[in-house]
Amino acid sequence: MNRFIALTVAGILAATSAFAEGVTEEMLANDTASTGDVLTNGMGRHLQRYSPLDILNKDNVDNLVPAWAFSLGGEKQRGQETQPIVHDGVMYITGSYSRMYAIDVKTGQEIWQYDARLPEGILPCCDVVNRGAAIYGDNIYFGTLDARIVALNAKTGDTVWNKKIADYKAGYSYTAAPLIVNGLIITGNSGGEFGIVGAVQARDAETGELVWDRPVIEGHMGMLNGEESTMTGTLNATWPGDMWKTGGGATWLGGSYDADTDTLVFGTGNPAPWNSWLRDAGQNNDGSGDNLYAASRIGIDPATGEIKWHFQTTPREGWDYDGVNEVVAYENRAGEKRFATADRNGFFYVLNRDDGAFVRGVPFVKDISWAAGLDENGRPIYNEENRPGDPAAAADGKKGEVVFASPSFLGGKNWMPMAFSQRTGNFYVPSNEWGMDIWNEPITYKKGAAYLGSGFTIKPNYEDHIGSLKAIDPDTGDVKWEFKNDAPLWGGVMTTAGGLVFTGTPDGRFIAFDDDTGDVLWSFQTGSGIVGQPVTWEQDGEQYVTVISGWGGAVPLWGGEVAKKVNYLNQGGTLWTFRLPKQLASAN
């Protein structure tokens, strides 16, 4: 039975030009250049989050005013991390607890609402968030916290199909925006803290039928068109015993698509358990304990699910430095085609687009303690004394040596997406300067139970700030400017041809910066912390900007001393849309 609430207000659909035509592959491929809509997560499947619009610019951004606000209402709030999709006069957003809304972009009025009505016993590790939807044909798609992918009719909200990604009772969930390429809807999975196995799946977007399934932990078999496909790596090559069976590596942030090389690029999360000594990772550095392909970036053939290449950011991972952060395809100032990614481990990497090979890596946070740097292949040069101790070597066998590691396990950068500006050639990276006390403990796997084998307490590294938005030159690694914030930054970033950089803060400010200098040019108080992702588009000759406000996510749940610093912040759930009126576009 379909679960949505349709408004009975006559004329809502007639008042919009919605649903004039289905979304095509060509439209998705052209998303960045097509300024009248936003059809993909990342404002382009390369994830640059850049708009060529310059109606709104440094000279007139002061005249940006609210157009309308939409409340998600009810008691189901918590963190709101969605990126809106805009098509033919309708905006689609996802909300906490696996909800979706269709909204008239001219009036802010709800057209329909869908509630997944989650079962008892879901196991999300890091709040009940959802990061957005995908649109294709006549359908709008999103994932749910009980590890399902749902296709809805974009016009009515009726369920077209509803498919299971994995077993939520084993700790699987799904929070990312899906990715659509050539009629396939591509999804990852969440649940790395429960000993699940990371995977990427592709389904026929029209029917929901599984086309291929690619596990990302060494030793597991894939599937293509109902038949077993090749194994991921060599059994037990980098995992001891049966540890690969519950090896983690969740692909929980979703992926990007590089059309030039026809490659899906996904990041993989932490190996499980966190206690690296159980994975034989703390005892050598010869590659046998690398635990492939956890904490890596992986290039995948979109037609077959075969792995083309991999780059492991943190082999022998022991600090929960997930490798899931977005991989952005871009051209540098010399016209070279590159990938860039800012890892939780604190390093900013540039990779070759053809094969994922390491080009360069530099720190983008100030106090990396677990590694002294990277070698010529991008492999970390470990500070072994900064690896959490082996509990088996402790006198009581219950708690290994406590170390202070920086960055914290929430990362130099977590899920919140950075942006690339085609105007400046710089990346704008939302980062955090924090560390943690961390120690290892004994642990055994139990289905559906947390599988960490570690304890931790997060602490700020500096008294005057935690969050830091940095403008980074990817050719040199130089930080061009920095904006410091008292509380952690947890929201996405967007850039525009008008010379603007947009992001939000936990205290509710939605801010526009000068992309060259970092000067604050405009800000608006939204009433709750911003952990969502801004977008912009053009309508009737005017430029609009939208962001969702609603404090939550992993920081208040896992943040230790940092969480106490921001426990005064209010939860919310409001979608804010701003416009630059035509008559003010040329005003200074």
Provide the β-strand partners of residue 339. Answer: 329, 351
C-alpha 268 chain-centroid distance: 12
Q: How far is CA 158 from each of CA 1, 71, 161, rounded to the nearest angstrom?
A: 9, 22, 9
242-267 burial: b if 16+ Cβ within 10 Å, else e = ebbebbbbbbbbbbbbbeebebbbbb
Q: Hunting for tokens 């530099």 — which residue is that?
A: 362
Look at strands 50-51 and 494-496 and give their pairing.
parallel
Question: DSSP state, 47?
Answer: -
Has residue 425 got a pLDDT over 90? Answer: yes
Phi, psi (degrees; rounded to nearest 5) at 112? -150, 165
Q: What tens digit of pLDDT does each residue of 334-351 get? A: 999 999 999 999 999 999
* Banded pLDDT at 519 (limits 50, 70, 90): very high
C-alpha 500 chain-centroid distance: 22
- In DSSP notation, 308-360 reads EEEEESSTT--S---B-S--EEEE-TTS-EEEEEE-TTSEEEEEETTT--EEE
Q: Decide if 337 contacts 329 (C-beta within 8 A).
A: yes
What's the whole-number mean pLDDT along residues 154-169?
97
Provide the β-strand partners of residue 371. Answer: 382
Q: What is the mean pLDDT of the chain?
A: 93
Look at strands 296-300 and 307-312 and give their pairing.
antiparallel
Q: What is the pLDDT of residue 13?
A: 38
User: What is the distance between the alpha carbons of residues 75 and 61, in angstroms, rounded to a whole number?
Assistant: 34
User: What is the distance between the alpha carbons of residues 198 and 152, in angstroms, rounded to a whole number?
Assistant: 26
Has residue 3 got a pLDDT over 50? Answer: no
Q: What is the pLDDT of residue 215?
A: 98
Q: What tens digit of pLDDT does each residue of 258-309 get? A: 999 999 999 999 999 999 999 985 566 677 899 999 999 999 999 999 999 9
Peptide bond into 315 cis (omega under 30): no
Which residues lie closer than 8 Å to 548 by C-beta, 6 or more apart? 80, 81, 82, 84, 93, 530, 532, 533, 573, 574, 575, 576
Judged by average pLDDT, the poorest of 15-19, 103-107, 215-219, 458-462 is: 15-19
Q: What tens digit of pLDDT does each residue of 210-261 get? A: 999 999 999 999 999 999 999 999 999 999 999 999 999 999 999 999 999 9
Judged by average pLDDT, the poorest of 65-79, 416-430, 478-492 is: 65-79
Judged by average pLDDT, the poorest of 31-40, 278-287, 417-426 is: 278-287
Has residue 327 got a pLDDT over 70? Answer: yes
Options 127, 320, 322, 343, the catalytic residue: 320
Q: How far is CA 41 from each of CA 38, 82, 182, 434, 514, rounded to the nearest angstrom?
A: 8, 9, 16, 28, 24
3-state secondary structure of 553: coil
Q: How far is CA 450 from each of CA 215, 405, 445, 455, 456, rounded to the nearest angstrom?
A: 21, 22, 8, 12, 14
Q: What is the pLDDT of residue 285?
A: 66
Q: What is the pLDDT of residue 210?
A: 98
How deeply is 516 buried, as exposed, middle or buried, from its count of CB atoms within 10 A (0-12, 13-18, 19+)?
Answer: middle
Q: Decide if 104 contacts 12 (C-beta within 8 A).
A: yes
3-state secondary structure of 272: coil
Q: What is the pLDDT of residue 19?
A: 36
pLDDT > 90: percent of the chain: 86
What's the whole-number mean pLDDT along residues 509-525?
98
Q: What is the pLDDT of residue 18?
A: 38
Q: Decide if 271 contacts 331 (C-beta within 8 A).
A: no
Q: What tens digit of pLDDT does each residue of 71-105 get? A: 998 666 789 999 999 999 999 999 999 999 999 99
Q: What is the pLDDT of residue 21?
A: 61
What's the whole-number mean pLDDT along residues 9-32?
65
Q: What is the pLDDT of residue 587?
A: 59
Q: Which two tokens stand for residue 254?
A: 């979703």
Has residue 2 got a pLDDT over 90? Answer: no
Known active-site residue 290: no
Q: What is the pTM (predicted TM-score) of this model?
A: 0.95
